[in-house]
Structure 1
């Protein structure tokens, strides 16, 4: 896995997909999150046992695959 999948936002803290791999990862997480949310009606707060690991893995992926790293940005600084 080489190359960056995400690009840092110009202001503040956050990333956006910059390659097809980043878009696929984002869509997979969004789809899983919606599917897990449907479980909330049936299982109450137990759905968090599934949702938290999915989001944690996505955040770790974003941190490791973001061009320029994850940090607060004031403007177009590098």
Structure 2
């Protein structure tokens, strides 16, 4: 694995906001849209935790936010989500 291989891994085609993680499952934001989505999700989740009065409502809203966030992440990840063991194809 060279430096250029890693740099190429973090380049995305137009329309994608995330790349798969190098190891494990998940995605990393690589465009301003991906970073904005991630930051917005984080802020909304903190606001939910701080201001929702009922624990059941807090959990429900948190789950709804997480499902929406993950759905967008999966659809906007170049190459989709699967387990990765580095840059090997």
TM-score range, shorter chain: 0.7 to 0.9
Task: Specify the SS of the correspondent of 1:76.
Answer: coil
The match for 1:53 is 64
Cα root mean square deviation, aligned: 1.3
Which consecutive aligned stretches of 4+ in structure 1 deviate over 4 angstroms post-superposition? Answer: none
1:7 aligned to 14, 19, 24, which one?
19
1:45 is displaced (CA, Å) by 3.0
- The residue correspondences of 1:1-78 to structure 2 (distance < 5 A) are 3-39=15-51, 42-78=53-89
TM-score by length of 1: 0.88
Structure 1: any 5+ residue segments left out of the alignment? none
Paired with 2:85 and 2:66, the residues of 1 have a C-alpha distance of 26
TM-score by length of 2: 0.78
Greater Rg over alpha carbons, structure: 2
Structure 2: any 5+ residue segments left out of the alignment? 1-13
